[in-house]
Structure 1
Amino acid sequence: MFLSIILAAGEGTRMKSKLPKVMHSICGKPLLSHVINVSKASGIDKNIVVVGHGGNIVREKIKENVQFVEQPVGEGVPYGTGFAVMQAKDYIEDNSCVVILYGDTPLITSDTLTKLIEFHKKGDYEGTVLSADFNDPAGYGRIIRDNAGNVTAIVEHKDASDEEKGIKEINSGIYCFNGKSLKLALENLDNNNAQNEYYITDAIKILNELGFTIGGYKIRDNEEIAGINSRIQLAEAEKIMRKRINNKHMINGITIINPDNTYIDSEVAIERDTIIYPGAIIEGNTRIGEDCIIGHNSRIVNCKIGDRVDIQMSTIIESKIDDDSHIGPYAYIRPNSEIGKNVKIGDFVEVKNSKVDDNSKASHLSYIGDAYVGKGVNIGCGTVFVNYDGKNKHKTIVQDNAFIGCNVNLIAPVEVEEGAYVAAGSTITDKVPKKSLSIARARQVNKGDWVEKKGLIK
């Protein structure tokens, strides 16, 4: 069995936040979620997450299928990475392969974890350290190897000799252990140090003293082991993750005009030959089809976008846009809206909780709320679907091929039947029958010489 123990109990005081550190997000997901998903993608069967500070928040927000264990917090608790791993000892089986990860290290990849596990198994090691070469290793524990290349010790920077400080290979803090050996090492850990803490690093020393062989797998991309301890590092990790995501989409046939100024969350899926312009923000579980144009400064959140859709400088949230439709500029599609095929939702049009069916158009300056708009309908400029009576929302139905003139108020609940026309400037409170013309406005009255009589001539 493959098991991960993910340490996520840290408070993260340098984040200056009410949130636990691992709950801060990059590219649309908490740091911890990235680590959990990578662990699962590398073939690890069971994931144990050790929580402490803010554990209730972590349990509430993390949706992935994991097993949580609680690390005690408070005065007198010894703390340390070794102490955190101890909290998961009941889940460690003798024949398991255990990977130790950190919830604040979101840039680690499944490819690296898979290779670490393969290296560990192939070398028949009892424990394996994930290491990296740093040009400036100051502050990191140094990897000490014997002539055969096996790891004999990890020496912390403050304890290293001048010769050991010259070593460039450092400890990432990520390990792979055989379950039986890890349990043995945990039983022998002590906290006889200045910090009075238990360190998982000491497990390497213990296993060496017991005669076991420890391997060291060195990665090439040092970015993968970068931990997040501040808002600055959070932004740096976001930039790295965003570059990975954008590169993946471009490799898959998406044109991104300026990747440095395009923001795509990790769960977004985009089909080939779609073009994304600078400033676009695409979030959540969004799906975008082929041959779309996502114009600059558009924001799309948890949406399904069909093929050949053109979106210009608009916001679309939790809605569906079908094939060949045109949105914007400056449109606002609010949650639970469904836009059909070949629909035009133009500039400064707002749609909320409504369906606009195929071949209809609302070209500018209208509000469509709590409505069904049928096929082939024209919504004139300035039309308002008046859906709220001060207490409840009501529905408006506009049937196929109806024509709504400019500056019309449709007072819900109301229905405009198929093929009917509503004259410009009308306020509609009753059903408009099929193929009829409804005029609901006062007759025009012209008062001659009124301006002169009022003394208003300039």
Structure 2
Amino acid sequence: MPRSAVALQGEGAFVATRRPPRSVAVVALAAGRGKRMRSATPKVLHPVCGRPSLWHVLRAATRGARPSNVIVVVGEGRRQVEEAVRSWRVRPEPTFVDQGTPLGTGHAVAATEEATQGADDVLILSGDDPLIGGEHVRQLLTVHRRTKAAAAILTTVVDDPRGYGRVIRVGDELIEIVEESEATPAIRKIREISTLVYAFRREELIGALPLVGRDNVQHEYYLPDVLPILKDKGEMVAAVAVDLGGSLGFNTRGSMAAVSSVMRARILEGHMRGGVAVVDPQTTYVDVDVRIGPDTILYPLTFLEGATRVGAGCRLGPSARIVDTTVGEGAEVTFSVAVGSRIGPRASVGPFASLRPGTVLREGAKAGTFVELKAARIGRNSKVPHLSYVGDAVVGEGANIGAGTITVNYDGYDKHRTTIGDGAFIGSDTMLVAPVRVGKQANTAAGSVITRDVPAGALAVERSEQRIVRGYRERKRAARRKQQRGEAVQPEEKGGADRG
């Protein structure tokens, strides 16, 4: 049996033991101001495919490193960042370190010296690098430990390396990071650049940080300057190349859009591997927390946002926006918006329907063309086919709501509920003035304004008797001609009523 260490237990007894794994402290840099974003929101809290950038970074770090502790370096916007991170329930629970006056990435890491005590290694990530995944972190730590390097840095190949330091390497060993201002034309052709993702042996990191100077244009302490200090001491520094889709972090709205595009492609690729059909990935937008069942088809201009859950065999789109909504198996949503709703199995929504928060469509229910539902529960196989508003209402099973029906739920002060029983038939252009109940199998006549409860099986009719005004058009024309000649027109000449 292989032994990494042995322990003596009693006379002549040897028991194999394993060397304990190296502990890792995660440091997430989240103190950046993000001036070029031109936003009151801290840069690390800008959303990328439904979650803030820092959320993606912490997820990658905790999944990839299984850290003993997590430290988030904060600065300007501290309150917002801390509140957001706490709401994500990151485990282990993060410690927050205030950088104070921001003097560069090296200064930010130095501020965590006390917080990282007890860890063997320190994993450092930037809060604005959301494309880093757990698999990238694992790859970095694997090489760091295999090569016994004092430090390891994650690198990637980008489409446009201008403004970034170029990576010179031999195998896994980093030789040098050459800044663009010092690069020869040949080196500038290199597209492999360094990220701000590092793994350090903590002892070596803490020893090198005080040696970092500020002799640069910004007069700041730069974390990358630790690497040549370690190499000058004869330490190994590893470079680990990963594919980040040709992009990196973001500093501007434009670069954030590029990062979001890469993330969105990754998300869609994952769903397609799971059996989801995406007709046009370039025009389909799915957030990171969305779950979709197999054999569902996403048509162009479909947006699935927030905590949306979609069952198997659904048809979504074209032009559908579905937010924080559950969609049951076999349901269809086309040219419509659903927010905070539940759409049952084999239900149908659209085209041009709006499901507002609190709406529930049971199995086989329909919300058709130009229908708006708000906090409404539509029963199994019930239909609201077109041109209707149903709000604060409960509709039973097998009911039919005619075109132009409105539940008049607001009196200017309070919202009131409408209840429609199983099998009820609501005639077109019915106004249901809440609070009101329509019983099972009851009917309302078209054009009625219903203000009182309708008993089960009854017909409610509320409209005035039709009146016929004979000769109306000719009298109106004659009165108009007299007006044009300046003659007086008597009231009886303007028209008259005649029943019949």
Normalising by structure 1, we get a TM-score of 0.92
* Residue in 2 that maps onto 1:446: 468
Work out the CA distance in 2 between the residues paired with 1:344 and 1:163. 64
* Residue in 2 that maps onto 1:328: 350
User: Which consecutive segments of 4 or more residues in structure 1 shift more than 6 A?
Assistant: 161-168
* Residue in 1 that maps onto 2:97: 69
| Residues 177-186 or 207-216, more deviating | 207-216
Give the secondary-structure state (helix, strand or coil) at the position aligned to 2:154.
Answer: strand
Matched, 1:119 2:147: no
CA-CA distance at 1:153 after TM superposition: 4.7
CA offset digits 1:392-427 (Å, max 9, x no partner): 101111111111111111111111111111111111
Matched, 1:358 2:380: yes
* Residue in 2 that maps onto 1:88: 112
Work out the CA distance in 2 between the residues paired with 1:222 and 1:293. 31
Work out the CA distance in 1 between the residues paired with 2:114 and 2:246. 29
* Residue in 1 that maps onto 2:196: 173
Matched-pair contact (CA < 8 Å) for 1:27–1:264:
yes
| Residue 418 to residue 276, structure 1, CA distance change in 2 (3 Å) | same
Structure 1 segments unaligned to the other structure (5+ residues): none
**What is the CA RMSD across the aligned residues, in angstroms?**
2.4
Give the secondary-structure state (helix, strand or coil) at the position aligned to 2:259.
Answer: helix
* Residue in 1 that maps onto 2:154: 130
Q: Count residues with an aligned counterpart.
A: 452
Matched, 1:183 2:206: yes
| Residue 53 to residue 105, structure 1, CA distance change in 2 (3 Å) | same
CA-CA distance at 1:431 after TM superposition: 1.0
CA-CA distance at 1:207 after TM superposition: 2.6
Give the secondary-structure state (helix, strand or coil) at the position aligned to 1:226.
Answer: coil
* Residue in 1 that maps onto 2:57: 35
1:437 to 456, 459, 484: 459
What amino acid is the match of 2:349? Answer: I
| Residue 150 to residue 156, structure 1, CA distance change in 2 (3 Å) | same
CA offset digits 1:3-38 (Å, max 9, x no partner): 221112122222222222222222122222221222
CA-CA distance at 1:239 after TM superposition: 1.4
Work out the CA distance in 2 between the residues paired with 1:163 and 1:322. 61
Q: How does 1:3-402 map to 2 (within 5 A)?
A: 3-45=25-67, 46-62=69-85, 63-64=87-88, 65=90, 66-73=94-101, 79-132=103-156, 139-143=163-167, 150-151=173-174, 153-159=176-182, 169-219=192-242, 221-223=243-245, 226-402=248-424
Matched-pair contact (CA < 8 Å) for 2:131–2:244:
no
| Residue 323 to residue 212, structure 1, CA distance change in 2 (3 Å) | same
CA offset digits 1:212-234 (Å, max 9, x no partner): 33222222x25366121212111
| Residues 353-362 or 181-190, more deviating | 181-190
CA offset digits 1:358-389 (Å, max 9, x no partner): 01001000100001111111101100000000
What amino acid is the match of 2:31? Answer: A
Work out the CA distance in 2 between the residues paired with 1:429 and 1:454. 36
CA offset digits 1:247-281 (Å, max 9, x no partner): 11111111111111111111111101011111111
Give the secondary-structure state (helix, strand or coil) at the position aligned to 1:115.
Answer: helix
| Residue 362 to residue 265, structure 1, CA distance change in 2 (3 Å) | same
Work out the CA distance in 1 between the residues paired with 2:130 and 2:349. 35
Matched-pair contact (CA < 8 Å) for 1:395–1:414:
yes
CA-CA distance at 1:158 after TM superposition: 3.4
Give the secondary-structure state (helix, strand or coil) at the position aligned to 1:349.
Answer: strand
CA offset digits 1:279-335 (Å, max 9, x no partner): 111111100011111121111001000000011111000100000111111010000
Matched-pair contact (CA < 8 Å) for 2:82–2:96:
yes
Work out the CA distance in 2 between the residues paired with 1:437 and 1:82. 79
Work out the CA distance in 2 between the residues paired with 1:9 and 1:236. 22
Work out the CA distance in 2 between the residues paired with 1:143 and 1:4. 24
CA offset digits 1:158-217 (Å, max 9, x no partner): 356788768765422321012222222234433344432111112223333444332222
What amino acid is the match of 2:47? Answer: S
Matched-pair contact (CA < 8 Å) for 1:93–1:180:
no
Identity of aligned residues (%): 38
| Residues 347-356 or 437-446, more deviating | 437-446
| Residues 46-55 or 357-366, more deviating | 46-55
Work out the CA distance in 2 between the residues paired with 1:112 and 1:8. 20
| Residue 446 to residue 272, structure 1, CA distance change in 2 (3 Å) | same
Work out the CA distance in 1 between the residues paired with 2:258 and 2:475. 72
What amino acid is the match of 1:429? Answer: T
What amino acid is the match of 1:110? Answer: G
Give the secondary-structure state (helix, strand or coil) at the position aligned to 1:191.
Answer: coil
Work out the CA distance in 1 between the residues paired with 2:478 and 2:70. 80
CA-CA distance at 1:108 after TM superposition: 1.6
What amino acid is the match of 1:99? Answer: L
| Residue 373 to residue 138, structure 1, CA distance change in 2 (3 Å) | closer
Give the secondary-structure state (helix, strand or coil) at the position aligned to 1:366.
Answer: strand
Work out the CA distance in 2 between the residues paired with 1:311 and 1:163. 54
Work out the CA distance in 2 between the residues paired with 1:144 and 1:258. 39
Work out the CA distance in 2 between the residues paired with 1:404 and 1:13. 58
Work out the CA distance in 2 between the residues paired with 1:168 and 1:398. 66
Give the secondary-structure state (helix, strand or coil) at the position aligned to 2:137.
Answer: helix
The higher radius of gyration belongs to 2
